[in-house]
Amino acid sequence: MMMYVEKPRVQEYFTFSIAWLLSFRASELERILSKFGQDTRKIERSVLIGCSDRREAWFALDLSLGSLCSSDSLQKSEMETELQGSFIQLRKALFQLNEKDTSLIFTAQALLRWHECHQFCGKSGQPTQKNVAGSKRICPSSNMIYYPQMSPVVITLVSDRTRCLLARQSSFPKGMYSALAGFCDVGETLEEAVRREVAEEVGLEVDSLQYSASQHWPFPNSSLMMACHATVGPGQTEIHVNSQELETAGWFSLEEVATALKRKGPPSNEQDGTIPFWLPPKAAIAHRLIWEWVQKQSSSSNLA
Ligand SMILES: NC(=O)C1=CN([C@@H]2O[C@H](COP(=O)(O)OP(=O)(O)OC[C@H]3O[C@@H](n4cnc5c(N)ncnc54)[C@H](OP(=O)(O)O)[C@@H]3O)[C@@H](O)[C@H]2O)C=CC1
Ligand SMILES: [Mg+2]
């Protein structure tokens, strides 16, 4: 993926690097596209993702190898040399990006993927056309207008007031645990979705819940993550893991969670070959929920 900044007259472009985003002017991007045998009109596929403090409009363009050049690794390394950066999987980049860049890249990823998957009108079957900003697609044949969609998702950190419940899906990186998450069903409120998801995934009945914060999340498609803290009553802590949804789940103490929170990214194996458990990066709202819980528990244990 590559991003660029558009000023009223001058354009600059960004590309993913290992630790930062690089910027290029429009003329430079045109040169790069030409050099790699690409049609410079591909710039029209870019989407508006934000604007700088100096009121420069920022656009993003997908330069991933699948969309731009053949998958041969020579092209990839040539492009990395040309751009003086490195392609990196977006999820891995989350451990290195700051909050502002993460938000820009999440928007870019979500919008670019949405356009890629909504090329045709569901009513007429005809091709749809992107507007300049990329905020919608229009079908000239049926006049249908399509706007980018987001799915509402609840994410809940359940606590029994002394421990918190963390779980892992088999698709998570080895050793990583997170809070419980799930898509809201049509017709559900946020509160109903939290209660249903917690009951479905670990068989617990939530007795109180408190909203914390929200986050846009672009994996695998655009979601609006709504994060909550929930508690279960004493004597209501027996977990029944739904093995179709989760690999495992368990209660963790304040000390265990506080230690895991200090680990930055996947830790190395212990001497016996096991991996100490670790938590999602700061860019994920799960991290915030867990951090908030640690803060609250620490201050109440200091008061005790
Ligand atoms: N930012 C963060 O901190 C975190 C974000 N997440 C995100 O939360 C999201 C939900 O978590 P997850 O546990 O997977 O959700 P669920 O527990 O709801 O399980 C996923 C299943 O829900 C069904 N489903 C219902 N509606 C949708 C929809 N709109 N899109 C896709 N699947 C749907 C699918 O089932 P079927 O196959 O039967 O159709 C899918 O396999 C994920 O996108 C995940 O990346 C998760 C944890 C942390
Ligand atoms: Mg889930």
251 lines ligand 1 (CB under 6 A): no
In the chain, where the domains are located: 2-115, 118-148, 151-303
Residues facing 38 on adjacent strands = none
Bond preceding residue 218 cis, omega within 30 of 0: no
- Residue 59 is classified by DSSP as E
Q: Are 108 and 60 in contact (CB under 8 A)?
A: yes
CA of 156 to the centre of ligand 1 (A): 13
Measured between alpha carbons, how far is 276 from 296 in angstroms, rounded to an integer?
24
Whether 103 shows a pLDDT value over 60: the answer reads yes
**pLDDT bracket for residue 125 (50, 70, 90):** very high
Q: Which atom of ligand 1 is nearest to the CA of 223?
A: 43
Ion ligand 2 — residues with CB < 5 Å = 181-182
ipTM of the complex: 0.96
> Which residues in 7-128 belong to E strands, given as ranges?
11-16, 21-25, 47-51, 57-61
CA of 72 to the centre of ligand 1 (A): 33
pLDDT digits (tens, 9 = 90+) for 226-245: 999 999 998 899 999 999 99
Give the residue carrying structure tokens 């790069």.
Answer: 32
- Residue 178 is classified by DSSP as B
Q: Which CATH number fits domain 151-303: 3.20.20.210, 3.40.50.2000, 3.90.79.10, 3.40.30.10?
A: 3.90.79.10
20 lines ligand 1 (CB under 6 A): no
**pLDDT bracket for residue 279 (50, 70, 90):** very high
Q: Is the pTM of this model over 0.95?
A: no
Q: In one letter, which amino acid is 49?
A: I
Calculated CA dihedral for residues 53, 112, 286, 277, nearest 10 degrees: -120
Per-residue tokens: 4: 């660029």
Q: Are 179 and 166 in contact (CB under 8 A)?
A: yes
Whether 284 shows a pLDDT value over 80: the answer reads yes
Task: State residue 1's pLDDT score.
Answer: 45
Query: Mean of the per-residue pLDDT values for the chain?
Result: 86
Per-residue tokens: 152: 């509402």
Among 113, 153, 184, 198, residue to substitute to test ligand 1 (most atoms within 8 Å of Cβ): 153
